[in-house]
């Protein structure tokens, strides 16, 4: 009894007696002192903070084996085993920078990402909405990035010598089959979806992940916002129509509804048109955006878009020397639902489904052409985080596609096909250490129409070449089914193929970023034909081939808010192909050797306005000249455009108001996209031509938007 | 034997008491250093002290609260854009942990609302809309939980003041909110000596400038 008491007492006394001093210095690996580091003994209150010289001193009652913890923001937390019996001086502690928080190696060959969350990105989501000349269009904004070609009469993305159909768009991982509004001949179109829907987007000009298939050249991956932050409404009045939206936020759920009605009648009167509109273009559309947080890490997203557009013009068919009434009406419905959840600490599931119907009704001089495309998709992807060094993703998707075209022109023709596309992929990313990462993937596809399976390996890697720079590379095989316009005539075609090799060097320090990318792309199995629009046997084959090679440069200096922010992108490309009805290899009409964009943005505080300007240049494009025996050897004059955007923010009628003005081609450059030649030569034996030019020289849109 | 049991029991109670006394002492001392802090380093030191306490007191939300608070203040006192996000991630982590201990604690919603505008300083153009929305949501929740808490109004007033008139801010709109905050501060009594009790002086200061 007494013995126990004695022991207890002794214990207490001993505890009181053993106050020990611990002192030392905290440094980084360059021997610079770290100020403000937290130094303490694990599971105790005992500890302190390092001073401006990195020095620290504290006392503790603890003794024996203890762990000293040293932590500081941006550095790896360090644990140090100590045996405390007497005072410890001159501890020298060196903290290692935490690369995951600073500039960890990122595989990014071929990729431009716009995000708020990641440090490695060169673009912010706002950049996409506020780039002058882009008209608030996602694709327009990406068109100012290197690797793209300016093709003014199309409005769609042309990437590295690829045609517009070679770029595919995905929303939250789901395929968007008709991302653009339907287009009239020689007039540009634009994307259906507002850039404000997306808080992160990736534009890949090649070498992309095995998750994406059926895209020969490029992928645009758009990620929608998570829960909307607050309940609000918005009404906008434009010189071309009306837009409105309402967003409601509950605790774990949000719903946003938008609607728009656009009519270009007024604008077409204000800016002289060289198109003879019979009925001015009209767009009516609505979107629904539903989000529900199912758990801390789970989210269900549903998106629906319903749109109608129609226009009617007198088409100047110069080839056949006649004017024709051409009317176009389009109905489009797109729905997708996705579900993401962390199943446990190691497994994540992303799955979803989508439906799309796109119906184009074209009437050419009372002859209707009705094209109906229906697609549906189911997709599931699992991600496994084996360790923090290895991430493996695998998944499968199914796409069902029905195409039907009914033509009543000198008889009734029905052209159509159905296809079931099955794909699966697996991809692993291994971070060998914090300077080297490798990603290897394999994609397999099977098409019921083509009845052929296809294996596509992908490989990419990145290595840090310094604190602020890295080298990244990507290789891979990419394939895509031939376009609907060929598949509807022939079931003997197989997928077209491209192989990409890309090498990228990127430097990013503070506000400045620089990027240089060199690439080589080889095309094979491209569709060739003897006669266009002919269902004759053996007309179509996959004997076409081609190549694209060149380099892209991107420079950006994004100073602080209220100061200037600009980027310059330049691309050089050498691309030729022998496809379609070409008799020899030639540079196709959509490729210009030099493309340059200079984008400038600045918020001017005193006038509370955001100004932006974009200068675009493209060297001459090839066009077919029947008077010249050298195939596609003529070039148009270079393309020049200066566009500006002005955004002024004010408080009007007690609500936040935004006034926005955009002016395209402010200096009125006379741009020529190409020439149309008559099918019949004149009396001197020369085929006369007509220039393809923009619908109007300048274009301006004014918008006033109220938010409440 | 009986004596021994009593003795051990007493000792146990004593130690537990000692433990909670130790907690309160440590907290009071840390609060004092936080209240006297003026420089960046002072706030980091205070934040570190609270962090150390929080690691030993897993069932208390206050040490986490103050550690997050001091870290957020660092971002306002001496903004270093390169560091801000990393420091705020740390503060957010403390707030998240604190919410697990006290899910319905209105002071945590207030603190959350205090953090969001600091995120905006990194990229005003890109983040303004998102984080103002989030801040308003957190403040609405805090006011719903207790309409008498003065800090909710103070934060609303200060952000209104700092926002350009074009965005629905400015002195004229902020003044009545500062006045409401003042009324509430005058009536406010913290639950314990350790409970959050900041903002009164800052509120008076801002009000006197208007």
pLDDT classification of A651: cutoffs 50, 70, 90? confident
A146 pLDDT above the threshold of 80: yes
pLDDT classification of B131: cutoffs 50, 70, 90? confident
pLDDT value at position A3? Answer: 59
Q: Are A45 and B165 a contacting pair at CB < 8 A?
A: no
A106 pLDDT above the threshold of 60: yes
* pTM confidence score: 0.83
- Which candidate from B52, B82, B168 shows the least CB-CB separation from A38? B52
DSSP calls for B38-75: -SHHHHHHHHHHHHHHHHH-TT-SHHHHHHHHHHHHHH
A661 pLDDT above the threshold of 80: yes
A50 pLDDT above the threshold of 90: yes
Of B33, B71, B35, B45, the C-alpha closest to A49 is: B45
DSSP calls for A626-687: TT-SSTT-EEPPPEEEEEEEEEEEEEETTEEEEEEEEEESTT------EEEE-SS--TTSPP
A65 pLDDT above the threshold of 50: yes
pLDDT value at position B9? Answer: 65
Q: How many CA atoms lie within 13 A of A176 on its CB side?
A: 25
- The CA distance from A507 to A636, in Å, is 36
**A111-707: CATH superfamily:** TonB-dependent receptor, beta-barrel domain (2.40.170.20)
Tokens 């992309």 sit at which residue? A208
Q: Are A651 and B167 a contacting pair at CB < 8 A?
A: yes
Q: Summarize pLDDT for A324-368 with one digit per residue, the tens.
A: 999 999 999 999 999 999 999 899 999 999 999 999 999 999 999
* Chain B residue with the nearest C-alpha to that of A123: B126
- Higher pLDDT, residue A287 or B210: A287
Q: Mean pLDDT throughout A190-198? A: 87
pLDDT classification of A447: cutoffs 50, 70, 90? very high
Nearest 5°: CA angle at A633, between A632 and A634? Answer: 95
pLDDT classification of A622: cutoffs 50, 70, 90? very high
Other beta carbons less than 10 A from residue A405's beta carbon: 18
Is residue A516 packed enough to be buried (19+ CB in 10 Å), middle (13-18) or exposed (0-12)? middle
The secondary structure element, H or E, covering residue A184 is none
pLDDT value at position A640? Answer: 96
- Percent of chain A residues topping a pLDDT of 70: 96
| A398 beta partners | A378, A422
Q: Are B168 and A74 a contacting pair at CB < 8 A?
A: no
Q: Phi and psi at residue B74, in whole multiples of 5°?
A: -50, -40
Of A342, A339, A371, A341, the C-alpha closest to A354 is: A339
Q: Mean pLDDT throughout A231-256? A: 92
Q: Are A561 and B49 a contacting pair at CB < 8 A?
A: no
pLDDT value at position A13? Answer: 47
- Token pair recorded at residue A669: 């450059």
CB proximity A49 to B under 8 Å: yes
Of A510, A486, A504, the C-alpha closest to A496 is: A486
* Chain A residue with the nearest C-alpha to that of B87: A73
| A443 beta partners | A425, A456
Of A108, A151, A102, A100, the C-alpha closest to A554 is: A108
Give the torsion sign (CA, B54, B57, B62, B64): positive
Of A542, A499, A549, the C-alpha closest to A522 is: A499
pLDDT classification of A271: cutoffs 50, 70, 90? confident
pLDDT classification of A101: cutoffs 50, 70, 90? very low
A14 pLDDT above the threshold of 60: no
- Higher pLDDT, residue A99 or B162: B162
- Percent of chain A residues topping a pLDDT of 90: 67
Q: Are B166 and A561 a contacting pair at CB < 8 A?
A: no
Interface of A with B in 361-400 (CB under 8 A): none
pLDDT value at position A246? Answer: 94
- Percent of chain B residues topping a pLDDT of 70: 90
What is the CATH number assigned to the segment(s) A2-95?
Answer: 2.60.40.10
Q: ipTM score here?
A: 0.85
A1 pLDDT above the threshold of 80: no
pLDDT classification of A477: cutoffs 50, 70, 90? very high
Q: So where are chain A's domains?
A: 2-95, 111-707
Chain A positions in Cβ-Cβ contact with residue B82 (cut-off 8 Å):
510
pLDDT value at position A383? Answer: 95
Any idea of the CA torsion for A123, A127, A132, A137, to the nearest 10 degrees? 100
Tokens 């895509």 sit at which residue? A480
pLDDT classification of A402: cutoffs 50, 70, 90? very high
pLDDT value at position A120? Answer: 63
- Higher pLDDT, residue B128 or A472: A472
Is residue B99 packed enough to be buried (19+ CB in 10 Å), middle (13-18) or exposed (0-12)? middle
Q: Are B86 and A74 a contacting pair at CB < 8 A?
A: yes
CB proximity A9 to B under 8 Å: no
A85 pLDDT above the threshold of 60: yes
**Is A2-95's fold the same as A111-707's?**
no
For residue B149, give how far its alpha carbon lies from the nearest alpha carbon of chain A (Å): 22
Chain A positions in Cβ-Cβ contact with residue B129 (cut-off 8 Å):
229
pLDDT value at position B13? Answer: 59
Q: Which of B4, B18, B52 to mutate to test the interface with A (most CBs of A within 10 A)?
A: B52
Mean pLDDT for chain A? Answer: 90
Of B124, B133, B96, the C-alpha closest to A116 is: B124
* Chain A residue with the nearest C-alpha to that of B56: A43
| B75 beta partners | none
- Token pair recorded at residue B147: 């309409």
Is residue B186 packed enough to be buried (19+ CB in 10 Å), middle (13-18) or exposed (0-12)? exposed
- Which candidate from A36, A74, A561 shows the least CB-CB separation from B44? A36
Query: Is B83 in contact with A74 (CB distance < 8 Å)?
Result: yes
> Where are the alpha helices (H) located in chain B, listed in sequence order?
2-36, 40-56, 62-77, 81-101, 106-120, 124-145, 150-162, 171-187, 200-209
- Token pair recorded at residue A107: 């595989």
pLDDT value at position B14? Answer: 57
Give the torsion sign (CA, A254, A381, A173, B93): positive
Q: In the 8-state DSSP scheme, what is residue A136?
A: T
């Amino acid at each position: 009894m007494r013995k126990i008491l004695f022991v207890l007492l002794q214990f207490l006394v001993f505890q009181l007696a053993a106050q020990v001093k611990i002192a030392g210095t905290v440094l980084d690996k360059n021997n610079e002192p770290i100020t403000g580091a937290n130094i303490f003994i694990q599971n105790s209150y005992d500890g302190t903070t390092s001073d401006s010289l990195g020095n620290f001193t504290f006392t503790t009652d603890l003794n024996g084996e203890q762990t000293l913890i040293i932590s500081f923001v941006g550095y790896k937390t360090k644990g140090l085993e100590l045996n405390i019996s007497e005072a410890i001086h001159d501890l020298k502690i060196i903290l290692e920078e935490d690369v995951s928080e600073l500039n960890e190696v990122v595989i990014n060959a071929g990729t431009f990402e716009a995000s708020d969350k990641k440090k490695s990105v060169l673009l912010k989501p706002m950049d996409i909405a506020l780039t002058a000349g882009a008209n608030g269009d996602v694709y327009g904004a990406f068109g100012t990035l290197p690797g793209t070609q300016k093709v003014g009469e199309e409005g769609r993305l042309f990437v590295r010598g690829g045609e517009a159909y070679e770029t595919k768009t995905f929303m939250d991982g789901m395929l968007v089959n008709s991302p653009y509004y339907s287009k009239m001949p020689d007039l540009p179109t634009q994307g259906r979806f507002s850039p404000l829907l997306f808080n992160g987007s990736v534009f890949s000009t090649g070498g992309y992940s095995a998750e994406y298939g059926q895209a020969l050249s490029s992928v645009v991956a758009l990620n929608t916002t998570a829960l909307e932050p607050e309940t609000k409404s918005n009404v906008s009045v434009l010189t071309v129509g009306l837009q409105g939206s309402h967003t409601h936020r509950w605790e774990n759920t949000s719903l946003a509804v938008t609607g728009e009605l656009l009519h270009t009648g007024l604008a077409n009167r204000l800016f002289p048109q060289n198109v003879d509109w019979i009925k001015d273009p009209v767009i009516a559309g609505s979107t629904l955006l539903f989000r529900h947080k199912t758990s801390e890490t789970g989210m269900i997203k549903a998106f629906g878009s319903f749109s109608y557009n129609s226009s009617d013009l007198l088409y100047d068919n110069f080839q056949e020397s006649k004017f024709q009434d051409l009317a176009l009406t389009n109905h489009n419905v797109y729905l997708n639902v996705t579900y993401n959840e962390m199943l446990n600490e190691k497994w994540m599931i992303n799955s979803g489904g989508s439906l799309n119907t796109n119906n184009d009704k074209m009437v050419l001089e009372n002859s209707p052409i009705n094209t109906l495309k229906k697609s549906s998709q189911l997709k599931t992807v699992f991600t496994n985080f084996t360790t923090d060094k290895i991430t493996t993703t695998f998944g499968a998707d199914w796409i069902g596609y029905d195409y039907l075209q009914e033509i009543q022109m000198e008889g009734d023709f029905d052209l159509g096909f159905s296809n079931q596309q099955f794909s699966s992929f697996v991809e692993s990313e291994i971070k060998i250490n914090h300077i080297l990462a490798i990603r290897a993937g394999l994609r397999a596809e099977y098409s019921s129409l083509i009845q052929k399976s296809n294996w596509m390996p992908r490989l990419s890697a990145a290595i840090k070449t310094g604190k602020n720079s890295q080298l990244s590379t990507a290789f891979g095989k990419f394939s895509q089914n031939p376009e609907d316009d060929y598949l509807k005539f022939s079931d003997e075609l197989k997928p077209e193929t491209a192989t990409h090799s890309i090498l990228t060097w990127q430097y990013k320090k503070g506000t400045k970023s620089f990027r240089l990318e060199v690439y080589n792309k080889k095309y094979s199995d491209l569709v060739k034909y003897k006669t266009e629009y002919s269902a004759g046997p053996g007309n179509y084959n996959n004997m076409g081939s081609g190549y694209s090679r060149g380099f892209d440069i991107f420079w950006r200096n994004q100073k602080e808010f209220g100061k200037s922010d600009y980027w310059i992108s330049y691309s050089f490309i050498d691309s030729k192909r022998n496809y379609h009805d070409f008799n020899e290899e030639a540079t196709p009409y959509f490729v210009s050797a030099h493309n340059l964009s200079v984008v400038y943005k600045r918020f001017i505080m005193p006038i509370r306005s955001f100004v932006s300007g974009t200068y675009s240049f493209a060297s001459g494009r090839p066009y077919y000249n029947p008077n010249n025996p050298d195939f596609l050897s003529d070039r148009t004059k270079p393309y020049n455009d200066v566009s500006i955007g002005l955004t002024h923010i004010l408080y009007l009628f007690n609500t936040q108001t935004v006034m926005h003005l955009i002016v395209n081609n402010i200096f009125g450059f006379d741009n020529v996209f190409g020439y149309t030649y008559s099918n019949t030569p004149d009396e001197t034996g020369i085929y006369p031509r007509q220039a393809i030019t923009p619908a109007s020289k300048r274009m301006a849109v004014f918008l006033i938007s109220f938010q409440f | 034997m009986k004596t021994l049991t009593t003795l051990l029991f007493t000792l146990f109670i004593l130690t537990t008491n000692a433990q909670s006394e130790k907690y309160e002492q440590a907290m009071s001392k840390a609060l004092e250093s936080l209240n006297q802090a003026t420089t960046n380093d002072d706030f980091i030191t205070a934040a570190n002290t609270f962090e150390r306490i929080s690691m030993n007191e897993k069932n208390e939300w206050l040490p986490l609260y103050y550690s997050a608070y001091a870290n957020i203040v660092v971002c306002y006192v001496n903004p270093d854009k390169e560091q801000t996000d990393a420091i705020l991630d740390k503060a957010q982590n403390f707030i998240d942990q604190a919410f697990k201990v006290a899910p319905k604690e209105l002071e945590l919603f207030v603190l959350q609302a205090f953090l969001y505008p600091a995120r905006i300083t990194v990229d005003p153009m890109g983040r303004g809309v998102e984080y103002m929305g989030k801040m308003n949501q957190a403040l609405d929740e805090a006011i719903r939980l207790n309409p008498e808490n003065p800090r909710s109004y103070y934060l609303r007033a200060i952000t209104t003041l700092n926002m350009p008139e074009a965005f629905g801010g400015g002195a004229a709109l902020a003044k009545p909110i500062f006045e409401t905050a003042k009324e509430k501060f005058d009536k406010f009594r913290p639950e314990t000596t350790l409970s959050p009790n900041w903002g009164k002086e800052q509120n008076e200061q801002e009000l006197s400038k208007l």
